[in-house]
Amino acid sequence: MTDLDFIHRFVPATSRDLPALLLLHGTGGDENDLIPLGSELLSGAALLSLRGKVLENGMPRFFRRLSEGVFDLDDLARRTEELARFIENARREYKLKEQLVAVGYSNGANLAASLILREPQHISGAILFRAMVPFSPEAVPDTGGMPVFLSAGQRDPIVPAANTKRLAALFQGGGAEVSIHWHRGGHELGQDDIDAAKAWLMGHFASAAQAVRR
């Protein structure tokens, strides 16, 4: 068996031709948290849900932070590389299809954003709820037109709107196709976030939409 060094859950696909979803929880979550969200976003898709290895006051995270919104950039770089290697191994172990869409919330979304800004070749697209700029790259890699969905809170006390717009600009600088949904509330996830992400997913992964309609 391939060495998969994250505690995780894998839910096999029950429908053909769907992209797999890589689920990355927020601070205090675990590998079970986003399974219902993944199923709601794309019923029948394979789900690969990870638990962060870093503990902050007993709560799992994917990388260390020094304070609210201030990240340990060295640790972030290591954890991003670690995620990239895990994805490679998981593709072989679970025979995942080529299309893999990262779905992250808060801390998990920030890790996925870091992956896009460092090694975008490992995923086909991303749905990032309440993500912020994880670091300032010297150069943004070519994303090959990767579709990215950002969902941000208009009154989010953690991620200001200007930060969301800056993240979108960074992705666009690498050629990504970015869509932004604005939730009227704060950092919490609303049904409007989920509905908008689901519609975006169907629109950008046509084979998935066709499979669900059959």
Active-site residue flag, 187: yes
Q: How many CA atoms lie within 13 A of 163 on its CB side?
A: 20
Nearest to 101 by CA among 57, 178, 32, 48: 48
Nearest to 20 by CA among 51, 41, 1: 41
Cα 25-148-114 angle, rounded to 5 deg: 55
Q: Which segments of the chain have a pLDDT < 70? A: 1-3, 206-214
Note if the pTM is more than 0.85.
yes
DSSP H helical ranges for the chain: 35-41, 73-94, 107-118, 161-173, 191-204, 206-213
Active-site residue flag, 8: no
Share of the chain above pLDDT 70, in %: 94
Strand partners, 11: 47
Check residue 208 and report its DSSP letter. H
58-105 per-position pLDDT tens digit = 999 999 999 888 899 999 999 999 999 999 999 999 999 789 999 999
What φ, ψ does residue 18 adopt, rounded to 5°? Answer: -100, 145
Which residue ranges form the domains of the chain, and what is each CATH number? 8-213 (3.40.50.1820)
What is the maximal distance between C-alpha atoms in the chain? 49
CB 28 within 8 A of CB 7: no
From 33, 49, 124, 156, active-site residue = 156
pLDDT given at position 2: 53
The tokens for 2 are: 């391939």
CB 115 within 8 A of CB 83: yes
pLDDT given at position 15: 86
From 106, 114, 124, 151, active-site residue = 106
Active-site residue flag, 156: yes
